[in-house]
Amino acid sequence: METNLQTGVEQAGKSHGSGEVLIRLEGVTKVFYTDEVETHALAGVHLDIKKGEYVSISGPSGCGKSTLLSIIGLLDSPTDGKYWLDGAPVESLNLSERSRIRNREVGFIFQSFNLIGDLNVYENVELPLTYRGMPSAERKQRVMESLERVGMAHRVRHYPSQLSGGQQQRVAVARALAGDPAILLADEPTGNLDSKNGEAVMELLRELHREGATICMVTHDPRYARHADRTVHLFDGRIVDEQDHRAHDEEENPSVS
Ligand SMILES: Nc1ncnc2c1ncn2[C@@H]1O[C@H](COP(=O)(O)OP(=O)(O)OP(=O)(O)O)[C@@H](O)[C@H]1O
Ligand SMILES: [Mg+2]
């Protein structure tokens, strides 16, 4: 099934990595049962995301975007269908394997930043590394490196309430990065930001992608969606359309390597 991925990928010369599939969803459904209501949040999603690819997900409110990200990030399980992560069927993982992968391989960035108000910037970024049992010297190095990446190293002792929205989101990006995850999942990361701060966070994601990060981002904003390699359009829990942005970029900007 994957043999076609071994060959013919290099000639594309793109930044989306080796062509290996990192995430494969086949016929994934998700049904929520609340009282008498049955909601089919996902109704048979097929999706492959390659290592190093940057995919954006768009679609109207309630179409299943966040549900899809939760499943990809192992925060939730499909009702039906198959999910392979890096070649391994996720359904065969036990609880502790799931949480280990969630903690080590996945970085989450949310619309509402989700920083812990009682912890300062340094401690917020450090927390997931502490959960992993990483020694403190290594934690310190990782925390400072990732805060420098996002331009927030000068604010380590600040608390979230003392930061602007854009700064809080940059700290949230640093927290997601610090663990060096295999995939970054971002759910409307610019939803609570003005356009200037939104641009800055998007530029950060692009930079991470250029350096090889695999990114899956939900956004309502077509300007930001175009930053991705491709956009997947969801409607009523199904993928109804896909747009490849790479071909256009090439035409507009042929000298970009
Ligand atoms: N925990 C839950 N229990 C019951 N229903 C849920 C739950 N989570 C989501 N849903 C329902 O599943 C559908 C998809 O929700 P989801 O949050 O994935 O939408 P979305 O595309 O992210 O929307 P938005 O753009 O508004 O964030 C919605 O109808 C929602 O009400
Ligand atoms: Mg959502």
Q: Which ligand is nearest to the CA of 62?
A: 1
Instruction: Say if CB 45 and CB 68 are below 8 A apart.
Output: yes
**pLDDT per residue as tens digits for the range 181-190:** 989 999 999 9
Q: Which of 36, 63, 79, 188 best tests ligand 1's pocket when mutated (most atoms within 8 Å of CB)?
A: 63
- Mean pLDDT of the 148-174 span: 95
pLDDT at 179 over 60: yes
**Phi and psi angles of residue 113, each rounded to the nearest 5 degrees, phi first:** 65, -45
Atom 12 of ligand 1, residue of closest alpha carbon: 41
Question: How many angstroms is it from 235 CA to the middle of ligand 1?
Answer: 12
Mean confidence (pLDDT) of the chain: 89
For residue 196, CA distances in Å to 91, 190, 193, 199 come to 41, 10, 8, 5
**pLDDT per residue as tens digits for the range 57-108:** 999 999 999 999 999 999 999 999 999 999 999 999 999 999 999 989 999 9
Q: Is 150 or 249 the better-scoring residue by pLDDT?
A: 150
**pLDDT per residue as tens digits for the range 203-229:** 999 988 998 899 999 998 888 999 999
Task: Domains for the chain: give ranges and CATH numbers.
Answer: 2-246 (3.40.50.300)
Question: How many angstroms is it from 239 CA to the middle of ligand 2?
Answer: 15
Question: How many angstroms is it from 38 CA to the middle of ligand 1?
Answer: 12
Q: What ligand 1 atom has the least distance to the C-alpha of 234?
A: 21
**pLDDT per residue as tens digits for the range 97-138:** 999 999 899 999 999 999 999 999 999 999 999 988 999 999
The pTM score is 0.87
Residues with Cβ within 6 A of ligand 1?
A: 32, 34, 39, 41, 59, 61-67
Reported as a pLDDT band with limits 50, 70 and 90, residue 255 is low
* Count of beta carbons in the 10 Å neighbourhood of residue 90: 21
- Report the percentage of the chain scoring pLDDT > 90: 75
